Amino acid sequence: MTLEAASEGVRLDLQVVDYLMLFIYFATVLAIGLIARRSVKTSMDFFLSGRSMPAWITGLAFVSANLGATEILGMAANGAEIGMSTMHYYLIGAVPAMVFLGLVMMPFYYSSKVRSVPEFMLRRFGRPAHLVNSLAFAVSNVLIAGINLYAMAIVIEAMLGWSQWMAIIVSAVFVLAYITLGGLSSAIYNEVLQFFVIIAGLVPLTIVGLHRVGGWDGLTTAIANTEGVSSLHMNAWQGTGIGDVTNPIGANWLAIVLGLGFVLSFGYWTTNFTEVQRAFSAKNMSAARRTPLIGAFPKIFIPLIVVVPGMIAAATLGNQFADGTLTYNDAIPKLIQMYLPSGVLGVAVTGLMASFMAGMAANVSSFNTVFTYDIWQEYIKPKMSDAYYLATGRWITVIGVVIGVFTAFLAAQFGNIMTYMQTLFSFFNAPLFAVFILGLLWKRMTPAAGLWGYIAGIVAPTIVWIAYLNNPSLFETATAETLYGAIISFVTVIVVAVLVSLVTKPKTDDELTGLVYGVGAIDVTSDAVVGDSAWYRSPALLGTVALALCVVFYLMII
């Protein structure tokens, strides 16, 4: 599952109307930043939108923040390369964790009034664990920002003829401008705009593509008759038996369910502040809980406009992928070139640009919050004025974008940046989720256990990764290594945390009130507003319906 340099064979012939659409989009993005600036009076306004956002806004922003370059291009590339197996990343690799966040974890987060996920770590486990988590998040986030920038650059270079440097600098400047101006509010409102632009760009591509191959039945037939396309392309679970692994992911069903569906998925969606920050900006507890639940519904159907075009590309261009004329990363750009006329072409290109900027903006806005609050304010310059932290946040935004530009060229050194990103998740998100879930459920877990469990959970998958680099025969694929590495990380955290907890002193119940399940009561209706009690706003109902739709969708593709 690679995301590699795009081919020059996807160069687009944009007309004036197409460039006009791009210009209108970029102008709108900057206008939103300027308008959002008017509402930024305090650091809380800048970093968390003053906790004033309605649920539908934060819900769409929640899913849009994940629709970056690696999501759109990478998952389409996976759709072309491995087909239905890509659905795992959505149906067990996203939706269940989003529901869990809304129903189980968000009440703890929001009621504690923490400003970031690392700050929750501070409340539950103390300063040493908090510092390690804050630094790990800051490092991983600028690395992932670089991945988004590089993924964007290689495609813009191929599609529009811009140099990679130019593509990176132009996009970075626009993201920097609107986030520095309006903070998280600017990022969130732009993410909502970007969501609809992405949909408008990719839905026509999917419809036209399916029509050209003769619908779903025609796609199935074409896939079966295309040289170089695996016979497992149209089945998500075939070849995943324990002891009989022949699927393109290279892992059995247990590793897929536990590694992807549990550890990596829950680690990403419930503890990754890049995502969770959108829920933190919601106006009250009900809106915060509904944020990931609302986001779960479009997430279920996004594969139809991301993965399916990749599969259409495999059916129509499979021979060119097999002989190296095209890379899998060319799937969506090539279909855009083949199927969309001028005008619609401009919408599609604008949609891709929107996805690139959404991912970068999400990384930058969460980085500036954590660095300012959890590192600068907590350890370097405490007890300064609010105006000082607001100004610091803007400067940190500039620094974060500049570092992201340089890490983009670090990402260029990896042949498979999709696996590179998933490796980062196994290093940082997997152990953090293990620490959080044990800490939420077991009040006996101590601050020392949180610290050493987290460190051990980072070290363990790192050792597995190094071992794999030295001996690739250890795992079928690099993707399989990340799944097993995540499982090993999770188990390591649990074992180390339990052992350390048995020999160190826990916090008192008073210190754990509202931070551990069963210690103190969390009133999820304490800040309810008119309309929150409506049946269609029930978090339990929304979560149940989302999971039911997910199951139905899964049954349709087995």
Query: Which domains does the chain show, CATH number per domain?
Result: 8-557 (1.20.1730.10)
Q: Rounded to whole angstroms, how far apart are CA atoms 266 and 9?
A: 39
Q: How far is CA 253 from the centre of its chain?
A: 23
How many residues can be counted in the chain?
558
pLDDT band at 493 (very low <50, low <70, confident <90, very high): very high
Residues paired with 240 in a beta bridge: 245
Range from 163-177, 194-208, 479-493 carrying the lowest mean pLDDT? 163-177
pLDDT over 60 at 1, yes or no? no
Lowest mean pLDDT among 48-52, 223-227, 275-279, 547-551: 223-227
- Are 153 and 168 in contact, with CB atoms under 8 Å apart? yes
pLDDT grade for 2, boundaries at 50, 70 and 90: very low
| φ, ψ (nearest 5 deg) of residue 3 | -130, 100
> How do the residues of the chain divide into helix, strand and coil, expressed in percent and rounded to 5?
75, 0, 20
The rounded distance, in Å, linking the Cα atoms of 385 and 417 is 41
Write down the residue that tokens 């003053």 correspond to: 50
What local confidence, expressed as pLDDT, does residue 518 receive?
87
Within 13 Å of residue 32, how many CA atoms lie on the same side as its CB? Answer: 22
pLDDT band at 283 (very low <50, low <70, confident <90, very high): very high
Adjacent-strand bridge partners of 245: 240
Report the chain's mean pLDDT, rounded to a whole number.
88
> What tokens does 238 get?
């075939």
The single-letter code of the amino acid at 11 is: R
Quick: pLDDT tens for 150-173.
877 877 887 778 888 888 888 888
Supply the pLDDT for residue 374: 94
DSSP state of 73: I
Q: Extract the tokens encoding 5.
A: 């340099």
The whole-angstrom separation of Cα 69 and Cα 408 is 12
What is the tens place of the pLDDT at every residue in 306-362? Answer: 999 999 999 888 778 877 788 888 888 889 888 888 888 888 888 888 877 778 888
Task: Put residue 161 in one of left, alpha, beta given phi > 0 → left and psi -120 to 50 → alpha.
Answer: left
CB 504 within 8 A of CB 449: yes
Position 55 scores a pLDDT of 94
Phi/psi at 291 (5° precision): -55, -60
pLDDT in tens, 290-299: 999 999 999 9
Q: What backbone torsions phi and psi does residue 244 show, to the nearest 5 degrees? A: -140, 60
374-383 pLDDT, tens digit each:
999 999 999 9
548/552 Cα distance (integer angstroms): 6
First to last CA, the chain: 21
pLDDT of residue 239: 82
Q: Which residue has the higher pLDDT, 226 or 199?
A: 199
Rounded to whole angstroms, how far apart are CA atoms 350 and 338? 17
**Using an 8 Å Cβ cutoff, are 5 and 153 in contact?**
no
For residue 300, which phi and psi values (nearest 5 degrees)?
A: -60, -35
Note whether 98 and 269 are within 8 A (CB): yes
The answer to which of 178-187, 289-298, 465-474 has the lowest mean pLDDT is: 178-187
Query: Does residue 480 contact residue 260 with C-beta atoms inside 8 Å?
Result: no
